[in-house]
C-alpha cells in the first residue's frame, strides 16, 4: 500500500462528487471516492468522519494484515468498538482490497453484507461484531491475553473506541486489567470529540496512565503524528493514543 499525500475534501473536483458535505469532511485521498460511494448523498455525521484518518493510517501504514492474511495467526488484529462509525471503516476496507468496492453501493439492505454495524461472519477482515458500546476494549484485552497464552508475541491488537464509550463500566475494568497484566501488545485508540458525559480528572490520557498505560495525545487528522503515536512501544505496558478532533469534524 502507498501512504496518502493528505486528505481531500469530499465533494471537491478531485473526488468528482457533487453536493459536498460540510467542510469538516476531509478524507484521505484513496478513501474519498469510496466514501462518496457508500455515502450516496447522505450526511453520515461527525462520528463517522472523525475516525477515517485513524482508520486509514492504521490500514495503510501500521497494521500487519492484508486480504491474503486475514486468517494468519501471526497477523495484527484491529477491533472497531465504535461500531456505529462503520461507513468509514467499510470505505477503508474497500480501499485496501479487503472487500469489493461494489459492496459499497448497497449498504444496510436486507441482502447486503455491510450492515449498520460490522459483522465478522459477513465482512472479510472484520475481527468482531460490534454495536453495543463498551465491549471492544474488553475483547481486545482477551485477544491480547489469548495471543500471549499461545506464545504469539509478534501480533499487536488495536482497539478503536469513542470517548463517550469510556463512561461504560466495562472499559474501567478493561483498562485496569490491561495495565495490571502488562499487556504491551495492546494499543487503544480513543477518538476524543468531547462527547463523554462524565469526563475524567486530568483528561482521557490520565485515566489510562493511572492504570499503568503509556499515552500519546495527537491531532486526530495528522497522519504522521498518528503514525508515530500508533507505533510507540513500551515493554510490559499497554499503550493508548488519544486522537483529538472537534465535534464538527
pLDDT at 2: 38
Domain 45-84+92-244 - what CATH class? Answer: alpha beta
177 phi/psi in degrees, rounded to 5: -70, -40
**Distance separating alpha carbons of residues 127 and 129, to the nearest angstrom:** 7
Distance CA 90, CA 33 (A): 12
Neighbours of 73 (CB within 10 A): 10
pTM: 0.87
pLDDT by residue for the chain (249 residues), tens digit each? 434 334 433 333 333 333 343 344 467 888 989 988 888 756 666 777 889 999 999 999 999 999 999 999 999 999 999 988 899 999 999 999 999 999 999 887 888 999 888 999 999 999 999 877 889 999 999 999 999 999 999 999 999 999 999 989 999 999 999 999 999 999 999 999 888 777 788 899 999 999 999 999 999 999 999 999 999 999 999 999 999 998 665
Q: Are 242 and 204 in contact (CB under 8 A)?
A: yes
Amino acid at each position: 500500500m502507498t501512504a496518502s499525500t493528505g486528505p481531500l475534501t469530499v465533494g471537491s473536483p478531485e473526488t468528482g462528487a457533487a453536493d459536498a458535505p460540510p467542510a469538516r469532511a476531509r478524507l484521505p485521498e484513496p478513501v474519498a471516492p469510496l466514501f462518496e460511494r457508500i455515502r450516496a448523498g447522505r450526511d453520515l455525521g461527525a462520528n463517522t468522519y472523525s475516525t477515517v484518518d485513524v482508520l486509514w493510517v492504521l490500514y495503510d501504514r501500521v497494521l500487519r494484515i492484508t486480504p491474503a492474511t486475514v486468517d494468519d495467526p501471526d497477523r495484527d488484529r484491529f477491533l472497531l468498538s465504535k461500531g456505529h462509525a462503520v461507513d468509514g471503516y467499510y470505505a477503508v476496507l474497500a480501499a485496501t482490497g479487503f472487500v469489493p468496492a461494489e459492496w459499497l453501493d448497497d449498504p444496510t439492505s436486507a441482502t447486503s453484507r455491510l450492515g449498520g454495524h460490522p459483522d465478522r461472519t459477513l465482512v472479510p477482515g472484520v475481527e468482531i461484531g460490534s454495536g453495543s458500546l463498551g465491549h471492544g476494549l474488553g475483547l481486545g484485552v482477551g485477544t491480547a491475553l489469548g495471543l500471549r497464552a499461545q506464545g504469539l508475541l509478534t501480533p499487536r491488537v488495536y482497539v478503536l473506541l469513542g470517548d463517550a464509550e469510556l463512561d461504560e463500566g466495562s472499559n474501567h475494568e478493561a483498562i485496569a486489567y490491561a495495565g495490571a497484566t502488562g499487556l504491551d501488545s495492546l494499543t487503544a485508540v480513543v477518538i476524543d470529540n468531547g462527547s463523554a458525559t462524565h469526563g475524567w480528572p486530568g483528561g482521557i490520557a490520565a485515566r489510562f496512565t493511572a492504570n499503568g498505560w503509556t499515552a500519546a495525545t495527537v491531532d486526530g487528522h495528522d497522519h504522521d503524528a498518528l503514525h508515530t503515536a500508533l507505533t510507540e512501544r513500551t515493554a510490559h505496558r499497554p499503550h493508548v493514543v488519544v486522537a483529538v478532533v472537534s465535534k464538527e469534524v
